[in-house]
Structures are given as structure tokens and as C-alpha cells.
A = this chain, B = another copy of it.
């Protein structure tokens, strides 16, 4: 469907913008300098828990001509990739606090609480989804009973990931730009547009999954 192609283009645009922001304004990536290690966090979280997560939800709607088995495997693999990126992205955030001088505490913001809840539910979904629908697989009736729960929880958690990402970019922007944000420097404009793209991507995925 053409709206799906449009959504994917928007999602890719979102990723390109996040990457450009981090390279151009936030000095790029490193795994040894805590300040730059942090930059992996937004990139990997948005790629995994916002983009791939959304793609995986949409696959049942767009891949109607593939076999059910193939769709399930793709859905599981996309979620697995999202999960791996999320774990590395979280490690980057925690490291950037623990190895900062002086170290910063962890898990004190609303953003980090939302993020933790989202990742825990996501992990649960993966385990329960895998066991129920792929291997070993529940009986037909149990599967049918569990499916609506799986779908509703999956969609709610996707929404929570989008919200978490939006709160996260706001945090980071205020911490780094401070009162310079007021003059809307080019970095501020860029970050606001990243926020609009993330929100728009989220709305499109939710719209497509409900239609």
C-alpha cells in the first residue's frame, strides 16, 4: 500500500535525521569516551524500539501474500533485532553515567522509568510471543485466547516507546542547549523536527495497524 511506503520513507527520514544530529552537533560516536558513548543511546533506541518495532507490527498488514509461517519468522526476527539494539543502547546509557567523572546516578528521571517499563514489557512480549506462536506453540484455543492480549499489549508498548523517545530528546536538548534553546539555534530546530518525525511515524503505524 502506498501509505505504507510513505510511512517507511518517513521512518527512514527519522533515522537519517537522528544520525545527522548526533554526528553534526553531538560529536559522533565512541565506545570509550562516556560523553560520546551516550550518543549510541538515542540512535539505537530509535532504530530498534521505534523504527524496527513499528516495521514488525506492520508486517502482517503489508505482507499479505507471504505465507503465515514466513510472516511469523520475519516478525520474530525483526523484534529480535530491535531487542538486541535496545540492549546495546541501554548499555550505552548506563555506561555513560557509570564511567562519567564523577559518575552520575542511574534511573532517576521519568524518561528512564518509562524506558525501563517499556523494555521489560517488550522482553516479556518476545518470550511469550515466541513460546506461544512459534516454538513450541500453544494449542489452537489457547493461542486464539492469547492473541488479542498479545496484539493490545504490543500496540500499547509501541506507543510507550514513542512517548519515551519524545521525552528523551526533550531531556537531552535542554541539558545540552539550556537557555540557548530559546533562540532556536539550528540544533534546536533539528531536534524539534526529529520529534515531529517520531510522532508522525508513531501516528502512521497506529493508524495502519488499526485499519
- Chain A residues proximal to chain B, CB less than 8 Å: 104-105, 108-111, 113-114, 156, 159-160, 163, 166-167, 169-171, 173-175, 181-184, 188, 191-192, 195-196, 199, 203
Contacts and interface: CB of A to CB of B under 8 A. Distances in A.
A188 B113 CA distance: 12
A184 B128 CA distance: 34
Top 10 closest pairs, chain A to chain B, by CB: A110-B195, A108-B184, A110-B192, A174-B174, A167-B170, A105-B182, A163-B163, A170-B170, A167-B167, A108-B182
B109 A181 contact: yes
Contact of A170 (B111, B156, B181): B111
A45 to B, nearest CB: 16
Contacts of A175: 174
Contacts of A171: 170, 174
